[in-house]
Amino acid sequence: MLNHIENIGTLFREINRILKPRGVFVFDDINPDSTYFKQNSENELGKAFNHGKRVFYNHSIDDYVHVLHRADFQIDEVMFPRFDSRVRKSLTKETYRRNKGHTLGIIVRAVKQKVP
């Protein structure tokens, strides 16, 4: 859902506020390494987007790193899932063919820093 939030800094600071010291924040986001991405079925967000509404915000890996650090998180682990057989059924054949092996998204594990 992070790609539907314009200002992730506000969200990350609030998550940090409610976590206990050394609490863990894990999130994932679609951050495709592609120029062609189409799902097999269109949902309501896709329909709104196709009618010109702003429903997606692209956050780069740099955005996540900087915003997490500014919100007093330490990044513990980052993974980059790829377009592979696990996502094949949810995408059009053309999307899968064009992107097989490319990066699909990002998974981040961050830990709240102790209060000084």
Residues 6 or more apart in contact with residue 70 via CB below 8 angstroms? 9, 12, 13
What range does the domain containing 50 cover?
A: 2-112
DSSP letter for 12, please. H
State the maximum Cα–Cα separation within the chain, in Å, rounded to a whole number.
52
Split into its structural domains, the chain has a count of 1
pLDDT in tens, 13-34: 999 999 999 999 999 988 756 5
Distance in angstroms (rounded) separating the CA atoms of residues 51 and 61: 28
Q: At 42, which CATH number?
A: 3.40.50.150
Its pTM surpasses 0.85: no
- Residues 80-90 have pLDDT tens digits of 988 889 888 88
